[in-house]
Amino acid sequence: MAKHLSDRRESVAAWLDANGIPPGDVPIDADITIEDSHEAGRVIHCETFDRTSDGHIQIDDTGKKAATKFVTVPLKTNPPPWWRSRVKPTRDELLRIIEELRHLGPALELEATAPGMHDAAREAKRDASRRIREILPGPVEGP
């Protein structure tokens, strides 16, 4: 399995390089998309490390992680056929998901009390509810 991932990573690195993006400048979790631009045709929009003038990776404003920026380059060669655009979720999207999970835990608890439910299903719902409560920050409210 690791070999397969390594091969994929190498394929993406070769594709980025062929399009003028140094693979070593691209974080492992970078947002990378192919977009249509009226001015330049199809382009790659890619998150990269923000480097100093002497080539060092800069630290972000929090001082805790590498600073990144976005670059846009013309698409010269197509990506591997299995490749898909990647965009990390926004803060608002993550907050929405957390809010949905806050209500899911108690809903699972309620469903676990339904008559006629198989014991294994009942336990699975209760276990899922417990795990949701354990990982979510703050209070978990009922449906």
Note down pLDDT in tens along the chain; length 143 residues. Answer: 345 558 888 999 999 999 999 999 999 999 999 999 888 799 999 999 999 999 999 999 999 999 999 999 999 999 999 999 999 999 999 999 888 888 888 888 888 888 888 889 989 988 888 888 888 877 656 54
Residue 17 shares a structural domain with residue 49? yes
pLDDT for 130: 86
**Any residues with CB less than 8 A from the CB of 49 and at least 6 apart, and which?**
25, 26, 27, 57, 58, 66, 67, 68, 69
Question: Is 83 a domain residue?
Answer: no
pLDDT for 133: 82
Question: Is 86 a domain residue?
Answer: no
pLDDT for 30: 95
Residue 70 shares a structural domain with residue 23? yes
pLDDT for 140: 58
Residue 49 shares a structural domain with residue 111? no
Question: Is 81 a domain residue?
Answer: no
pLDDT for 3: 54
Question: Is 80 a domain residue?
Answer: no
pLDDT for 40: 79
Q: Provide the 10 A C-beta neighbour count for residue 122.
A: 14
Residue 70 shares a structural domain with residue 98? no
pLDDT for 1: 38
Question: Is 140 a domain residue?
Answer: no
Residue 65 shares a structural domain with residue 7? yes
Task: Supply the range of the domain harboring residue 19.
Answer: 2-74
pTM for this prediction: 0.67
Question: Is 20 a domain residue?
Answer: yes
Residue 34 shares a structural domain with residue 66? yes
Residue 57 shares a structural domain with residue 14? yes
Query: For residue 19, which of 71, 69, 81, 77 has the smallest C-alpha distance?
Result: 77
Boundary residue ending a domain (45, 74, 103): 74
Total of domains in the chain = 2
